[in-house]
Amino acid sequence: KDNKLDQIIKTIDENDIKFLKLQFSDIHGLPKSMAVPLKKAADVEDIVNDGLLFDGSSVAGLASINDSDLLAKPDINTFSMIPWRPEAKGTSRFICDIFTTDGKPYDGDPRGVLKKSLQLAEKRGYQFNMGPEPEFFIIKKDEDGHYIPADEAEYFDVEPLDQGTDIRREIVLGLEKLDFDVEVSHHEVAAGQHEVDFKYADALKTADAVITFKEAVKALVNNLGFKATFMPKPFLGINGSGMHCNQSLFKNGENIFYDPDTETQISQEALYFIGGLLKHAPALSSILSPTVNSYKRLVPGYEAPCYIAYGFKNRSTLLRIPASRGLGTRIECRSADPSCNPYLAFAVLLEAGLDGMDNKIDPGEPTEENLFAFSEDELVEKGISSLPTSLWEAYHALEEDEVVKNAIGEKVFNQFYNIKRAEWDAYRIQVFDYERDEYLDV
- Of 54, 57, 95, the closest CA to residue 74 belongs to 95
Q: Does 200 bind ligand ADP (CB under 6 A)?
A: yes
Cβ-proximal residue to Mg ion, closest one = 244
Q: Does 241 bind ligand ADP (CB under 6 A)?
A: no
Of residues 97 and 135, the one with the C-beta less far from ligand ADP: 135
When binding is defined by CB under 6 A, the residue of 29, 110, 131, 275 that contacts ligand ADP is 131
**β-strand pairing of 31-37 with 69-74:** unpaired
Q: Which residues contact 236 (CB under 8 A, 6 or more apart)?
A: 296
Q: Which residues contact 335 (CB under 8 A, 6 or more apart)?
A: 242, 281, 284, 285, 288, 289, 298, 304, 305, 318, 387
Q: Does 133 bind ligand ADP (CB under 6 A)?
A: yes
Rounded to whole angstroms, what are the CA distances from 126 to 35, 136, 205, 274, 296?
A: 36, 32, 15, 16, 36
Cβ-proximal residue to ligand ADP, closest one = 131
When binding is defined by CB under 6 A, the residue of 10, 169, 177, 199 that contacts ligand ADP is 199
372, exposed or middle or buried, with CB in 10 Å at 0-12, 13-18, 19+? Answer: middle
Total residues at interface with ligand ADP (CB under 6 A): 18
Residues 304-323 that bind ligand ADP (CB under 6 A): 322
Q: Which residues contact 375 (CB under 8 A, 6 or more apart)?
A: none
DSSP 47-90: HHHH-EEEEGGGSTTT--TTS-EEEEEE-GGG-EE-TTS-STTE
When binding is defined by CB under 5 A, the residue of 244, 297, 330, 405 that contacts Mg ion is 244
Check if the beta carbon of residue 190 is closer than 8 Å to that of residue 149.
yes
What gap in Å lies between CA 424 and CA 420, rounded to an integer? 6
Residues 161-200 that bind Mg ion (CB under 5 A): 195
When binding is defined by CB under 6 A, the residue of 330, 396, 405, 420 that contacts ligand ADP is 330
**Window contacting ligand ADP (CB under 6 A); options: 208-216, 241-249, 297-305, 343-351:** 241-249
**Window contacting ligand ADP (CB under 6 A); options: 215-223, 325-333, 357-365, 395-403:** 325-333
Q: How far is the CB of 293 from ligand ADP (least distance, A)?
A: 22
227 three-state secondary structure: strand
Q: Does 133 bind Mg ion (CB under 5 A)?
A: yes
Q: Does 265 bind ligand ADP (CB under 6 A)?
A: no
Applying CB under 5 A, which residues contact Mg ion?
Answer: 133, 195, 244
Site residues for ligand ADP per CB under 6 A? 129-131, 133, 183, 197, 199-200, 244, 246-248, 255, 322, 327-328, 330, 332
